[in-house]
Amino acid sequence: MKKVLVATEKPFAPAAIAQIKKIVDEAGFELALLEKYSSADELKSAVADASALIVRSDKVTADVVDAAKELGIVVRAGAGYDNLDMEACSAKNIVAMNTPGQNSNAVAELAFGMMVFQARNHFNGTAGTELRGKKIGIHAYGNVGLYVAKVAKGFGMHVYAFDPFVDDAKIKADGITPLSSVEELYSTCQYVSLHIPANDKTKKSINKELLSKMPEGGVLVNTARKEVIDEDGIVALMEERKDFAYISDISPDNKAVFEEKFPGRFFFTPKKMGAQTSEANINAGVAAANQIVRFFKDGDETFRVNK
């Protein structure tokens, strides 16, 4: 019997696990759970006889892939698959997939939760500011960017986007102003919401030079990845620009520097929380389970990312 392992250091909501189990059981497969594990060795031993693996941000390294003797497919229940060693998967002919769009609304809602919190001075009782009438730049107009744009319009913000991979016509059709360069986006918008993936081209690309273009009261909103930020660069900028704030769903490695130097001008969730809603867990978990069943039953490779 095929074993489907759900390995999540940050567990799914119980309702999501119940639905994943139902799909796996009905397909005649067996579900195994490894939650809140604390070492790669635990993952390596759990995956040894698994035919399929569902993960979140869990690191599927070359070592993990090597330990997986039966693995045919790994699905990242979520969008960004920078946690999967693609070369190692491809070398062993393991299909790697993600579940694009399934947790996007949750991430977008968190972006606004953080923005309101920052604009209202962390609810410390002093007069804050409003989002209405402010300019927001969506840096990469994918699934999350699209939801952020929709919510921003609800707040009465002016919405701009830059994405070299999306046609301007599509962005315009959504009532958003496309801009032609990343520099233009940052120099136009007081708020920038980041939705770029972490890869060799984007790592540390959000640097001091780019951020220094942002207008007075600039706020960088990061629900993407910490790897895309030049963390020393943002500290250097915040030392120069007392008006600048950084709010992020992913704590930077130099968090202690922010705590010491910039009280009130940053906010970091204690643990990556963007996709941590029951709805997003159900959407992404169910999609992952269905993709695995379709792969084994019909050879369906839609959503494969290591083509």
Contacts to ligand 3PG by CB under 6 A: 10, 56-57, 78-80, 103, 272, 274-276
Q: Name which of 190 and 276 has its Cβ closer to ligand 3PG.
A: 276
Q: Name which of 193 and 276 has its Cβ closer to ligand 3PG.
A: 276
| Alpha-carbon gap, residue 153 to 146, rounded angstroms | 11
Give which of 109, 162, 159, 117 is closest to 135, Cα–Cα.
159
Q: Name which of 82 and 168 has its Cβ closer to ligand 3PG.
A: 82
Contacts of 71 (CB under 8 A, 6+ apart): 47, 50, 51, 52, 53, 65, 92, 94
Closest contact distance (angstroms) between CB of 83 and ligand 3PG is 8
Residue with the shortest CB distance to ligand 3PG: 78
Closest contact distance (angstroms) between CB of 288 and ligand 3PG is 11
Contacts of 220 (CB under 8 A, 6+ apart): 192, 194, 206, 211, 214, 234, 244, 245, 246, 247, 248
Q: Name which of 190 and 281 has its Cβ closer to ligand 3PG.
A: 281
Closest contact distance (angstroms) between CB of 98 and ligand 3PG is 8
Closest contact distance (angstroms) between CB of 275 and ligand 3PG is 4
Question: For the packed helices 278-298 and 14-26, what is the interaxial angle rounded to 10 degrees?
Answer: 20
Closest contact distance (angstroms) between CB of 65 and ligand 3PG is 19
Q: Can you name the residues that pair with 248 across neighbouring β-strands? A: 222, 268
DSSP state of 266: E
Q: Name which of 168 and 227 has its Cβ closer to ligand 3PG.
A: 227
